Amino acid sequence: MSIRELAAQTGVSISTVSRVFNLPDKVNADTRAHVLQMAQAMGYLPNGSARSLRTQRSRVIGVVLPTLLNPVFAECLDGIAQAASDAGYAILPMTTNYQLAQEEQAVQQLFASNVDGLVLVVSNPATCSALQRLRTAGLPYVLAYNRHVDHPCVSVDSELAVRQVVARLVALGHRRITLISGKLAASDRAQQRQRGFFAGMAEHGLDGSQWLEVPFVETAVTEITALLQGSQRPTALVCSNDLIAIRSIRAATLAGLRVPQDISITGFDGIALGEDLTPMLSTVTQPNADIGRCSVKLLLQAFADGVPPAPSASLLLEQGFRTGESCAPAPLP
């Protein structure tokens, strides 16, 4: 079913049919109605490939994410999909498993797919060569969750958020607080959160040297459990994401500790599931779907302007804190 057949059946020219779909105002109301009716009847749909080839725009937004297995990115993708769909764009997602090589490859593939722009979450914007390629190619892109002065980003102030978490714990009487961080090399967010932890501990004159680095993907319950032995064990764990917090709760329980009576645990991300857990996760909440939606909006604005989003267009959204049930006053010594 091509535009030609429809034109022939309708008794108008190809260009009239084309105009009906692209510049409806420029066509007589009666002919327009007629064409639309015939299109409906014949099940005509404009061919996307031909359209993209002709206009050099695909109406597709590429998406690069570390993984879908962490709900935080699934929630974000959901927001991206909504905003894109609302604007008549399709999305083409790829995952990288936090691996630099896969980031490169994903960008490469999306490049070849003629995406109009990209939303991506990379390990580290500072060292991501794929971003250079995008920039020199003039392909619009927006980073989500990442934060870097040289790139357009939609994120929250992770560092501040973790400093505030530390302050909360201190206010609850905790002194021995340990950071459970995701792999720093694989995530600038983990780095920011670590900085927030160090800053927060320093602000309160506490020893911030206790911290553990664990993988994002595999569980590290045994390592965390080991940390929780002995009388000088921490009374609170600050985890750099919700998944790690969930694993830490398990580790604590396996170590014979009760959460939150014996040990307090905080997360970061605000995944929806955390609210249904027992104990409900105490965590920094990010507007994950909104981060996705805003990233797409920035991209759409850039399409309209005809110029890639500038680093200065970066958005810092508000984070929050869900009190939850995994934090309590420090146990008496």
Residues that bind DNA (CB under 7 A): 2-4, 12-16, 18-19, 21-23, 26-28, 30-32, 45-47, 50-51, 53-56
From the list DNA, a copy of itself, none, partner contacted by residue 127 (C-beta under 5 to 8 A by kind): none
The tokens for 1 are 């079913």
212 has which bridge partners?
A: 180
Which 85-144 residues touch a copy of itself, going by CB under 8 A? 85, 90-95, 109, 111-114
Which C-beta is closer to DNA: that of 2 or that of 129? 2
Q: Nearest-CA neighbor of 154 among 290, 267, 60?
A: 290
Judged by CB under 8 A, which stretch of 3-11, 68-76, 142-150, 161-169 contacts a copy of itself? Answer: 68-76
**Taking CB under 8 A as the rule, does residue 275 contact a copy of itself?**
yes
Shortest distance, position 209 Cβ to a copy of itself, whole Å? 27
SS3 88: coil
**Taking CB under 8 A as the rule, does residue 71 contact a copy of itself?**
yes
Which C-beta is closer to DNA: that of 2 or that of 127? 2
CA dihedral 223, 224, 229, 234 (to 10 degrees): 140
Which C-beta is closer to DNA: that of 46 or that of 331? 46
Judged by CB under 8 A, which stretch of 64-72, 151-159, 179-187, 194-202 contacts a copy of itself? Answer: 64-72
Judged by CB under 8 A, which stretch of 41-49, 138-146, 176-184, 303-311 contacts a copy of itself? Answer: 41-49
Given a contact cutoff of 8 angstroms between Cβ atoms, the answer to whether 270 and 245 are in contact is: no
Which C-beta is closer to a copy of itself: that of 90 or that of 310? 90
Q: Nearest-CA neighbor of 68 among 188, 200, 233, 243?
A: 243
**Taking CB under 8 A as the rule, does residue 219 contact a copy of itself?**
yes
Provide DSSP, 204-272. TT-----EEEE-SSS--HHHHHHHT-STT--SEEEESSHHHHHHHHHHHHHTT--TTTT-EEEEEE--G
Q: Nearest-CA neighbor of 83 among 294, 249, 325, 244?
A: 294
Phi (first) and psi of residue 317, to 5 degrees: -85, 165
Given a contact cutoff of 8 angstroms between Cβ atoms, the answer to whether 168 and 321 are in contact is: yes
Contacting positions for a copy of itself (CB under 8 A):
45-50, 52-53, 58, 60, 67-69, 71, 74-75, 77-78, 81, 85, 90-95, 109, 111-114, 219, 221, 243, 246-247, 249-250, 253, 272-273, 275-278, 280
